[in-house]
């Protein structure tokens, strides 16, 4: 069985002081469980709160990541942060191609590929997000969208690069809506993504890649997802902002 990843995407919430406070509550909740031994736990604060999170997580098995990077290493790119900078701040992971970045900041599959390559060069572990929008879901285009996003954003990696990424299937209609996909729908999408990986990178690589589900995961629905062998963890937004709630989710891994 693949080692699961339980990841918290804090989006644009929590300043440095709130981040420190969260860890003060969250770490003791993990101390009494064996979850850290069973899965990777990664928290993605805003870039500004990454240093506070790195300090607060020291001595625990919690890793810290950024929610986005730009693909260039440095230069006149006002407002951007590079993978190298994130890594130097102590982050070891990064989310690439989250649907909110695609929707509000025009991130394309081509950008996702460049950001992923750049993240790997900087020594970060990328979680690449894919997923269909509501109208695509309703019109039966999920497979088409996932195949296209895989072809444009992931297939251009080398085999070695692919072995270092994780993928998050996040149907856009399930993100922040309270309406999660069913475990069955998610597992079907994961199988499709894995079959695309098999075609491009071979069976061994496809079996090894970790695919997470994200979209309105809560303490009361996580167990259904975790019963599916296809689902290698979860990327959690809203329900990760409360330490008790995220600790319960992590406990289901
Ligand atoms: C996310 O932001 O990646 C996410 C899945 O959000 P939520 O859990 O709030 O749906």
Which atom of ligand 1 is nearest to 11's Cα? 2
Q: 4-251: which CATH topology?
A: TIM Barrel (3.20.20)
CA of 130 to the centre of ligand 1 (A): 13
What's the pLDDT score for residue 101?
98
CA of 120 to the centre of ligand 1 (A): 24
Domain ranges of the chain: 4-251
Ligand 1 site residues, Cβ closer than 6 angstroms: 9, 11, 170, 175-176, 214-217, 235-239
Task: Say which residues have a Cβ less than 8 Å from residue 120's Cβ, sequence separation at least 6.
Answer: 126, 161, 164, 165
> Is residue 170 annotated as part of the catalytic site, yes or no?
yes
What's the pLDDT score for residue 169?
98
* Displacement of CA 69 from its chain's centroid (Å): 14
Provide the b/e sequence for 37-50 (b: ≥16 CB within 10 Å). Answer: eebbbbbbbbbebb
Which atom of ligand 1 is nearest to 216's Cα? 10
Mean pLDDT of the chain: 97
pLDDT digits (tens, 9 = 90+) for 132-191: 999 999 999 999 999 999 999 999 999 999 999 999 999 999 999 999 999 999 999 999
Instruction: Decide: pTM greater than 0.85.
Output: yes
Which atom of ligand 1 is nearest to 214's Cα? 5
């Amino acid at each position: 069985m693949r080692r699961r990843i339980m990841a918290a995407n804090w989006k644009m919430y929590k300043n440095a002081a709130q981040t420190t406070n969260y860890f003060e509550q969250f770490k003791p909740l993990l101390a009494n469980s064996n979850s850290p031994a069973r899965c990777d736990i990664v928290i993605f604060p805003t870039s500004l709160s990454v240093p506070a999170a790195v300090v607060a997580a020291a001595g625990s098995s919690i890793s810290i990541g950024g929610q986005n990077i730009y693909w260039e290493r440095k230069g006149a790119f006002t407002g951007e942060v590079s993978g190298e900078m994130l890594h130097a701040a102590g982050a070891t992971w990064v989310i690439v191609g989250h649907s909110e970045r695609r929707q509000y900041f025009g991130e394309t599959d081509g950008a996702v590929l460049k950001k992923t390559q750049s993240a790997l060069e900087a020594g970060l572990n990328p979680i690449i997000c894919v997923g269909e929008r509501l109208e695509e879901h309703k019109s039966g285009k999920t497979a088409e969208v996932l195949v296209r996003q895989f072809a444009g954003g992931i297939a251009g990696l080398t085999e070695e690069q692919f072995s270092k990424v994780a993928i998050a299937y996040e149907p856009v209609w399930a993100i922040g809506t309270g309406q999660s996909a069913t475990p069955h729908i998610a597992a079907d999408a994961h199988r499709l993504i894995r079959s695309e990986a098999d075609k491009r990178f071979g069976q061994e690589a496809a079996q090894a890649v970790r695919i997470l589900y994200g979209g309105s995961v809560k303490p009361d629905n996580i167990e259904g997802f975790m019963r599916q062998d296809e689902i290698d963890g979860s990327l959690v937004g809203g329900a990760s902002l409360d330490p008790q709630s995220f600790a319960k989710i992590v406990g289901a891994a």
